[in-house]
Amino acid sequence: MSRDRGDRRDRSPRTLRSAGGRVVAATAVVAAVSLTASGCVVVHGEREVVPTATRAEAARALGDFLDAYNEADSTDDRSKDAARVTGALGDIDGGKLAAGHRNNPGGNPSHSPLKLTDAKFTIPEKAGWPRWFVADAHANKGSAEAHWLLVFTRSGPDKVWAVSYLTILAADAVPEFKKDKDGWAEPVPVDDAALAVRPDKLGSAYTAYLKSGGDTFVPGPHTSQWRATRQQNARRPGLVRQYVDEPLTNGDYAPVALRTKDGGAVVFFTTRHYEKQTASQGVPRDASDPTIKALLSGDVHQSLTLTTVSNEAVLDPAQGKVTFLSRVEGLTGAKGE
């Protein structure tokens, strides 16, 4: 499994998992054992503002994720980590594992266990459910200096912790989170209108930007450069590409945000993207990529539609433009017509 090396603030999409020759997309990466009730914060947790997890519980959740992720990666069996990966990352991980299983039924011949070390936890205080926290660790893959930020989500007291977002950043790109005297972080309401863009509107703002442009986002690989690439590829000799983008905002796809020291926020959010490639009459349409073939439904005659899910992380300031930290993109489906 190859990952975004995290050696600069903005990255273009890279491969996430790789087994043999199969490509299983993304900018960074991506990974069941139930937690015992003794580690949970339960003191009137529905009403009281309390830490979303103890530090010991957070550490156990990270270990449980690693165990499940490595078992799934070695076997290309989605069921092995289905309980520990959810939301955008669950879709991306599921697409890769499904393609891997189709292309290598005996398991991943390139599996190398992922290890995450020197973990630090940013745990907010809030009331009710869902609850979430961020783990920041170093990995044995990619750049040794890179920080892997994983958002763990738990939707109810009868659920286990699962990773919904993952971002890989260079050390100098890791945001400084605001914390109180006890070390607890501050969650940002998704309807916070004091930010440049409300967190619950970032997905729709981003998809609108991809369609029409504007000045909401700082130029870079995931904004101005991606739009320019799409425009260049929209019409090629014998081939037309059409793009449709949509925000995903419900359940474990919901955005989560943490206050930064400067008064802004780091926001994690999700979008889905469709790219329809239509060939001119008589022009053959190539769908030989092993990952596309593995996820393909229908027969490719004249058109091929690719579906991807993106996991975004941005800096949303109190004033100014939104800056992308990372975008993880994974192929989740393909349809031939």
Concatenated DSSP letters of 158-223: TS--EEEEEEEE-GGGS--B-B-TTS-B-B--TT-TTSSS-GGGHHHHHHHHHHH--SSB-SSTTT
Is 231 among the domain residues? Answer: yes
CB-count exposure of residue 239 (10 Å: 0-12, 13-18, 19+): middle
Q: Is 7 inside a domain boundary?
A: no
Compute the average pLDDT of residues 2-23: 38
Q: How confident is the model at residue 170 (pLDDT cuts 50, 70, 90)?
A: very high
Separation between Cα atoms, residue 269 and residue 181, nearest integer Å? 28
Torsion of CA 194, 196, 200, 204, to 10 degrees: 150
162 falls within a domain: yes
Residue 1 lies in a domain: no
CA distance 337 to 278: 9
pLDDT confidence band for 303 (50 / 70 / 90): very high
Could you tell me if residue 67 is inside a domain? Answer: yes
Structural domain count, the chain: 1
- 81 within domain boundaries: yes
Peptide bond into 284 cis (omega under 30): no
Cα separation, 24 vs 14, in Å, equals 9
pLDDT higher than threshold 60 for residue 15: no
pLDDT at 10 over 50: no
Out of 21-30, 79-88, 117-126, 216-225, pick the least confident: 21-30
Taking only the tens place, the pLDDT of each residue in 27-77 is 333 333 333 333 444 444 467 999 999 999 999 999 999 999 999 999 999
Residue 220 within any structural domain of the chain: yes
Boundaries of domain holding 85: 14-336
Contact 192, 200 (CB under 8 A): no
The rounded mean pLDDT for the chain is: 88
pLDDT of residue 117: 96
The CA distance from 85 to 177, in Å, is: 24
- What pLDDT does residue 40 have? 44
Residue 54: the pLDDT is: 97
Q: In degrees rounded to 5, what are phi and psi of residue 97?
A: -70, -40
pLDDT greater than 90 at residue 9:
no
Average pLDDT over residues 267-288: 90
Least confident interval from 19-28, 75-84, 177-186: 19-28
Q: Is 74 within the bounds of a domain?
A: yes
Q: How confident is the model at residue 137 (pLDDT cuts 50, 70, 90)?
A: very high
- 208 versus 2: the higher-pLDDT residue is 208
pLDDT score of 25 = 36
Check residue 46 and give its pLDDT: 65
Q: Provide, rounded to the nearest whole percent, the portion of the chain with pLDDT above 90.
A: 81
